[in-house]
Structure 1
Amino acid sequence: MAVDDFLPSRHGFAFTNAWPDQPAVTLPTPFGDIGIGNAGGGLCGGMAFAALDYWLAGRAPGLDRPAAGDPLYRYIVDRLIDSWHAPAGVAQFYQWMSLPDGDNVIKLFGRRVVTERGLGWRTVRVQWPQIKKDLDRGLPVPIGVVTTASRNPKDLGLNHQVLAYGSGADGSRVTLRVYDPNRGRRDDITIRMDTSAPARPVTFDHNLGLGQRPIRGFFRVAYTPRQPA
């Protein structure tokens, strides 16, 4: 493993997640084959996985943006497919897109009964403790970021993937430091959340390269190291 801590300015790719129009990446899913657009739509998961691969191998990532057909380009595309962890990972993105932000609650015989956990509770109570455990050990964690509410499988490509590499807390306020392929080698990219009321919709403040899209929740992505190209 690399001896120094992960830092985007040292261990991220020198180029951002911006690519010319190139053939689409098609993934098999429980809903049928889904094209994640062409490369112009982004290869965020592949870049996050590849950056972690290089860091674990103690090697510097590529400096120049690879052209289609280059070994590094093919490697990033392969890692993008790995990052979707089909079919389970794709199904998790789809499930989270379909869930409410806060818990669904009904009153039954005068008592409040939770009928469905929302993204706030699933992020804060289930996913965050798992992510924090690895971060506390100094191990970066790829996370899937849900940015849209939809039941249309074609909207899967609107979601995002980043690499969390550090965290801090001020009371119930948690800050994740992340490598966002959309932002390149910036060390100031963060996701912030208040963990005090996870049953209600949780507000996520961020400066990820998502345009106007919000963060609704995030989860740990299944990752297996691979020898980098």
Structure 2
Amino acid sequence: MSQKFTGIVQFANGAAASDVTVHLFDADTLNEDDDLTVEPGISDEKGLFSLTYDKSRDLDFADIYRPYLQFSYTQHGEPHSHKVNLQPNQRVYGLPDMPPLQFIPATHGLQFVNRYPGYWIPFSVPSIPDIPSVNNIYGLCGGMLAASLDFLLADRQIPQRRRRPGRVTPLHRYLHQRQVDSLTRGSQIVRFVRWMSLPDPAVQLRTADELKKLLPNLDKGIPTPIGMVYISTKDTYQIWQNHQVLACSYVELEDGRLRILIYDPNFPRRNDIFVESWPDGNGGYLSVQRMGDKEKHTRGYFTMPYEPIVPPAILDDDTASDEKEKRSSS
């Protein structure tokens, strides 16, 4: 006798997964698994699917009934399949993949500038046009990138405040933790140091290799953090004069240049910040960062890891907490 099963399928971040074909199988120990599906389910825009199956369709008296769902879908132009055991009373099932994302810096990036007073961690705001270099100013660029991506993946609006959070606020603590996460126990600091110590031609060759990782990610709708190497150890050992930004999308210009749209926390609420790269004639890529009509020489860049987390449910958005910070430090 045919039966119906109705459920919901979601991406790994909880977003609804549409156009997913769902079959129900019975796992066999000795033979091929039995497809019990009479009519497969296809998920709608809310991830809702309904399939029809018949337990007696491929009845095998020697086996114990062990049903599972098979989800078939296309992700980034490639076919994917995912199996999940059918559980009593469970109606929501998750895929291991994230959905393609469109990250618009002015909309999805944090609205305040990456500029915090004090000596919280040894990462300052890099020397960039229109931003004075102040020694007791630090940045949380990697944390701000990660937090912005966290909110987008969780389908939540970022905090809309334009004033930077005080150091004692939950929002600042969250950004600080995500900054630490972005450096993966110091391994990314080591990468910055290694790149800083290389001569320019070697950095340009490595940038070409990193583009082979970055561009496919962007083609798939995967915003990717990149480490911007501005300086060389020939000039200074101040590693904090480098930077972290988020590559969002790219276009290839007629002259062969790549123009990569980035979210740079030093320039909030702007969609005109880019990294441009072009072949150097020796297998490498030269680069420059453009901020509107200004530019900054960039020696090269590399992709950085990102692991999503669910943003805290409550992040204090009270600007009065800045005054609280001043009182607590006095």
User: TM-score, normalised on structure 1?
Assistant: 0.79
Following superposition, the deviation at residue 40 of structure 1 comes to 2.1
* Aligned positions of 1:1-229 closer than 5 A: 1=13, 5-21=102-118, 23-25=119-121, 35-36=122-123, 40-64=137-161, 65-102=164-201, 118-124=202-208, 126-150=209-233, 154-170=237-253, 172-195=256-279, 197-199=281-283, 202-208=285-291, 214-229=297-312
**Which 10-residue stretch deviates more, 69-78 or 57-66?**
57-66
Following superposition, the deviation at residue 214 of structure 1 comes to 2.2
Letter in 1 for 2:308: P
Counterpart contact for 2:229–2:299, Cα < 8 Å: yes
Give the unaligned 5+ runs of structure 2.
Answer: 1-12, 16-98, 125-134, 313-330
Q: 2:282 & 2:145 partners in 1: Cα distance?
A: 27
RMSD, aligned CA: 2.4
Following superposition, the deviation at residue 213 of structure 1 comes to 5.2
Q: 1:97 & 1:61 partners in 2: Cα distance?
A: 34
Counterpart contact for 1:174–1:195, Cα < 8 Å: no
CA 1:198–1:131 in 2, change beyond 3 Å: closer, same or farther?
Answer: farther
CA 1:60–1:39 in 2, change beyond 3 Å: closer, same or farther?
Answer: farther
CA displacement 1:144-172 (0-9 Å, x = unmatched): 00010017995111100000010111353
Q: 1:153 & 1:188 partners in 2: Cα distance?
A: 29
SS of corresponding position for 1:214: strand
SS of corresponding position for 1:52: helix
Higher share in helix: 1
CA 1:206–1:36 in 2, change beyond 3 Å: closer, same or farther?
Answer: closer
Following superposition, the deviation at residue 93 of structure 1 comes to 0.6
Counterpart contact for 1:120–1:198, Cα < 8 Å: no
SS of corresponding position for 1:87: helix
CA displacement 1:48-98 (0-9 Å, x = unmatched): 111111111111111223211111100101111111123321111100000
Following superposition, the deviation at residue 223 of structure 1 comes to 1.1
SS of corresponding position for 2:200: coil
CA 1:212–1:86 in 2, change beyond 3 Å: closer, same or farther?
Answer: farther
Give the unaligned 5+ runs of structure 1.
Answer: 26-34, 103-117
Following superposition, the deviation at residue 134 of structure 1 comes to 1.1
Letter in 1 for 2:211: W
Counterpart contact for 1:84–1:90, Cα < 8 Å: yes
Counterpart contact for 2:290–2:296, Cα < 8 Å: no
Which entry has the higher C-alpha Rg, 1 or 2?
A: 2
CA 1:45–1:14 in 2, change beyond 3 Å: closer, same or farther?
Answer: same
Q: 2:114 & 2:106 partners in 1: Cα distance?
A: 15
Q: How many residues align?
A: 201
**Which 10-residue stretch deviates more, 83-92 or 152-161?**
152-161
**Which 10-residue stretch deviates more, 61-70 or 145-154?**
145-154
Letter in 2 for 1:184: P
**Which 10-residue stretch deviates more, 60-69 or 37-46?**
37-46
SS of corresponding position for 2:225: strand
**Sequence identity (%):** 34
